[in-house]
Amino acid sequence: MTGVIRDFLDNARWELVRLRRSQRIWLLLIPAIAGPIGSTLADLYLRVPSPATAQVLGLLITAGLASLVLLDLTALAVGEDLALRTHYFTFALPQSRAAALAGRLTIAVGGSLAVFGVGVILVLALASELVASLPGAVPAILVPAHLAAGLFGLLLFLGGVTSAAGFLTRSSSQALVAGVLAGVVVAGLASLFLLEGRLTPTFPEALAAGGLIGLTWTVVQFQRADG
């Protein structure tokens, strides 16, 4: 095993220890369980007219919950050590800083995306199984599968913005605020494009690309950071 891979794995494990000790690991259950079950119950109670509409609502709710978890975990993964100056200790350890942060972000961002993926599967399955189509129901505003893919792009974007903000501000709380603001802007733009009939796959693709750029930039800057 090369040094970089070992550094990556050591720090991925370290991030899991942090999540476990801070009890934040339980947050990962929210998008995977609370989102699908909660939205399905709401669908049934509100008599949502079609499985596709139920799926759209469930996906939006689950993505909203996943985004909160992602923002929190990402902001802490990048910003907490910098705010506490723990990096004065960890930067002096014989490891690649880039690999170290990549390992931690893989757990924070990757974990949030993974549990959102579980939530997506459950939302789609529960809605198609439990929600019946009412006669004369209007078509869903979005194709659920497209929406799910777009939401992955959104979450990736939020991860990128939050991680970059965490590095720039050296503060997890400010990173969190930056992520929330980014989410609000993206939601506004998406609504605008939807109303104007201009919402195409390019938008979430651009978001995903932006997110990957943000994450990569953070990792590269972390390696170069002047403590």
Asked if 157 and 211 count as a contact pair (C-beta separation under 8 A), the reply is yes
| CA atoms of 127 and 162, how far apart (whole Å) | 32
Supply the minimum distance, in Å, between the C-beta of residue 79 and other proteins.
Answer: 11
Supply the minimum distance, in Å, between the C-beta of residue 217 and other proteins.
Answer: 19
Integer CA distances (angstroms), 114 to 8, 65, 109, 145, in order? 19, 13, 8, 16
Supply the minimum distance, in Å, between the C-beta of residue 148 and other proteins.
Answer: 34
Among residues 12 and 61, whose Cβ is nearest to other proteins?
12
Supply the minimum distance, in Å, between the C-beta of residue 161 and other proteins.
Answer: 23
Distance of CA 14 to the CA centre of its chain: 20
Q: Is 168 exposed, middle or buried (0-12, 13-18, 19+ CB in 10 A)?
A: middle
Cβ count near 218 (within 10 Å)? 27
Q: Which residues bind other proteins (CB under 8 A)?
A: 3, 6-7, 10, 13-14, 17-18, 21-23, 80-81, 84-89, 91-96, 226-227
Among residues 21 and 47, whose Cβ is nearest to other proteins?
21
Among residues 7 and 43, whose Cβ is nearest to other proteins?
7
Supply the minimum distance, in Å, between the C-beta of residue 225 and other proteins.
Answer: 9
Among residues 103 and 210, whose Cβ is nearest to other proteins?
103
Among residues 163 and 172, whose Cβ is nearest to other proteins?
172
Q: What are phi and psi of 50, to 5 degrees?
A: -150, 155
End-to-end CA distance of the chain: 28
CA torsion 214→217→222→223, rounded to 10°?
150
